[in-house]
């Protein structure tokens, strides 16, 4: 949606959107009911339409931060984007309940999931694959472990429909879904002693304080400056993360455990404090099977009970995908081209496509940023992101577009240049980005040789 919106705004292209779901919204249509955006709504969605009201929440768990939309708001938003922004141009068509089954560049097979009828779509310009980095969906995810018949295993969505109260909740997974689930249980009043958390690898997360836009953009600019500083000195991905922790921007749940995972998720200090009240933590293990009285993991068994509820949070919100050139003859593969914030990435790709540059130049502007989920790969990820960011900022058309885009978290920085903090962060970045790129290139080369 973000790609199509930007492309349609900047070209005369016609777009056919194909989705096997009945309406736009993607994974948000199946999200667990207590999910919210990880980032502020202020820079989520598509370029041409605001999401939410750019309000700073005054109370509740997000107090002091820009509002974050719920799944229902996001789905409503995307429906309106489709109807009022895209279809209204007369250049976009939407085929819902339609499965794309592949094909050659001159004919793509689309099958209706309602009556099985087949349509061959002949792309005049390009096929755009917006499924390459799609999220796994907790409610549709098939866990990678077996479960005995009497065991209650639910996705997070199932927690709002439990028939009977549980003796205990065992949350399986260490990503954002597990964090959301634990925080939700705690906020709903469940005693921390009644929660057990099996987490394979602890993650590094961004502190939400530093992902704030608009009037709080100072915080985001500080993050950018410290990111450049860490990049200029880090010996490897782990060192990079620890430097950001020292700067207060990366957080971990347990300070005695070295995180091995990084997927770009964001949490608040309040959420971290709540998570730390859960003391029953089973670490560094992957679940193999769940029986009535025990859970088998790759490092031995732990006890279970027939009256506990297991919550499967092992679906990958950002599954690892090998980098592909974003632009190839007849094809565009939407991927991350910045750290996190997928709509901003997709709109960027849409705008770069609109420039009419050749594929080589467009790929130089959009090197894929690959989330492997491993902290060890953080320097490589940062290198690709910084190369793209610098190339785009210097480009005569892409730079100004990016600076003004509502999807860019730093968009308000020029309006706050009188703020000494913002000015200092910008000056720091200008002075040290070259050193950062040099060090990241070196670090990435060393890591590649060691592999």
Ligand X SMILES: Cc1cc2nc3c(=O)[nH]c(=O)nc-3n(C[C@H](O)[C@H](O)[C@H](O)COP(=O)(O)OP(=O)(O)OC[C@H]3O[C@@H](n4cnc5c(N)ncnc54)[C@H](O)[C@@H]3O)c2cc1C
- Provide the binding-site residues for ligand X, judged by CB under 6 A: 18-21, 26-27, 31, 35, 37-39, 44, 99-100, 130-131, 134-135, 176, 317, 340-343
The least distance separating ligand X from the CB of residue 289, rounded to whole angstroms, comes to 26
CA separation for the pair 7, 13 (Å, rounded) = 7
Nearer to ligand X among residue 33 and residue 356 (C-beta): 33
Q: How far apart are CA 445 and CA 451, in angstroms?
A: 10
Cα separation, 295 vs 148, in Å, equals 10
Contact at 8 Å (CB) between 421 and 212?
A: no
Provide the 8-state DSSP code for 374. Answer: B
For ligand X, the closer of residues 32 and 401 by Cβ is 32
Q: Which is nearer to ligand X, 212 or 433 (CB)?
A: 212
Contacting residues for 150 by C-beta, under 8 A, at least 6 apart: 292, 306
In degrees, rounded to 5, the angle at the alpha carbon of residue 288 between the alpha carbons of residues 284 and 294 is 90
Nearer to ligand X, 284 or 321 (CB): 321
Q: How far is the CB of 36 from ligand X (least distance, A)?
A: 8
> Distance between CA 335 and CA 338 in Å, rounded?
9
Closer to ligand X by CB, 100 or 168: give it.
100
Smallest gap from residue 448 Cβ to ligand X (A): 28
The DSSP element (H or E) to which 119 belongs, if any, is strand 118-121
Q: Which is nearer to ligand X, 77 or 401 (CB)?
A: 77
Alpha-carbon distance 9 to 159, whole Å?
Answer: 42
Torsion sign over Cα 8, 9, 11, 12: positive
When CB distances to ligand X are compared, the closest residue is 26
- Rounded least distance, CB 198 to ligand X, Å: 19
Pair of tokens at residue 418: 């009188």
Instruction: Considering the complex, state which of residue 340 and residue 350 has its C-beta at the smaller distance from ligand X.
Output: 340
Q: Residue 342: helix, strand or coil by DSSP? A: helix
- Write down the least CB distance from residue 26 to ligand X, Å: 2
CB of 275 to ligand X, least distance (A): 16
Encoded tokens for 295: 């859970």
Q: Looking at beta carbons only, is 141 or 283 nearer to ligand X?
A: 141
Q: How do 15-18 and 92-95 pair as beta strands?
A: parallel
**Three-class DSSP category at 252:** coil
Give me the phi and psi of 73, to 5 degrees please.
-65, -40
- Closest contact distance (angstroms) between CB of 3 and ligand X is 9
Q: Are strands 280-283 and 195-199 parallel, antiparallel or unpaired?
A: parallel
Residue 74 has phi, psi (to 5 degrees) of -65, -40
CB of 53 to ligand X, least distance (A): 17
């Amino acid at each position: 949606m973000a790609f199509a919106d930007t492309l349609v705004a900047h070209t005369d292209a016609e777009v056919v959107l194909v989705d096997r779901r009945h309406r736009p919204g993607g994974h948000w249509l199946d999200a667990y009911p207590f999910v919210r955006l990880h980032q502020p709504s202020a820079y989520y969605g598509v370029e041409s339409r605001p999401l939410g009201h750019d309000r700073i929440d005054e109370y509740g768990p997000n107090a002091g931060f820009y509002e974050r939309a719920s799944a229902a708001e996001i789905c409503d938003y995307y429906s309106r984007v489709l109807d009022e922004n895209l279809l209204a141009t007369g250049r976009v068509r939407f085929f819902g309940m339609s499965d794309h089954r592949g094909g050659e560049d001159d004919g793509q097979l689309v099958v209706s999931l309602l009556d099985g009828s087949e349509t061959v779509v002949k792309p005049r310009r390009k096929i755009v694959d917006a499924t390459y980095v799609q999220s796994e969906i907790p409610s549709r995810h098939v866990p990678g472990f077996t479960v005995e018949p009497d065991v209650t295993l639910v996705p997070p969505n199932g927690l709002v429909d439990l028939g009977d109260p549980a003796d205990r909740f065992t949350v399986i997974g260490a990503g954002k879904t597990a964090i959301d689930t634990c925080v939700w249980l705690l906020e709903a009043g469940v005693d921390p002693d009644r929660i057990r958390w099996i987490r394979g690898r602890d993650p590094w997360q961004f502190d939400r304080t530093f992902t704030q836009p608009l009037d709080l953009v100072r915080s985001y600019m500080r993050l950018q400056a410290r990111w450049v500083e860490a990049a200029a000195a880090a010996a490897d991905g782990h060192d990079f993360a620890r430097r950001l922790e020292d700067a207060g921007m990366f957080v971990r749940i347990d300070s005695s455990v070295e995180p091995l995972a990084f997927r770009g998720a964001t949490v608040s200090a309040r959420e971290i404090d709540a998570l730390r009240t859960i003391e029953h933590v089973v670490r560094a293990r992957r679940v193999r099977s769940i029986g009535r009285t025990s859970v088998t993991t790759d490092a031995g068994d732990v006890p279970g009970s027939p009256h506990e509820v297991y919550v499967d949070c092992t679906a990958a919100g950002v599954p690892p995908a090998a980098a592909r050139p974003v632009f190839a003859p007849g094809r565009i593969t939407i991927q991350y081209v910045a750290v996190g914030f997928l709509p901003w990435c997709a709109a960027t790709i849409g705008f770069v496509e609109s420039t009419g540059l050749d594929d080589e130049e467009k790929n130089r502007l959009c090197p894929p940023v690959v989330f492997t989920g491993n902290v060890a790969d953080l320097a490589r990820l940062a290198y690709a992101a910084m190369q793209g960011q610098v190339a785009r900022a210097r480009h005569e058309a892409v730079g100004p577009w990016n600076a003004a885009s509502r999807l860019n978290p730093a968009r308000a920085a020029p309006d706050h240049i009188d703020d000494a903090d913002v000015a200092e962060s910008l000056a720091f970045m200008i002075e040290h980005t070259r050193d950062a790129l040099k060090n990241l290139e070196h670090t990435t080369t060393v890591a590649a040789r060691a592999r």
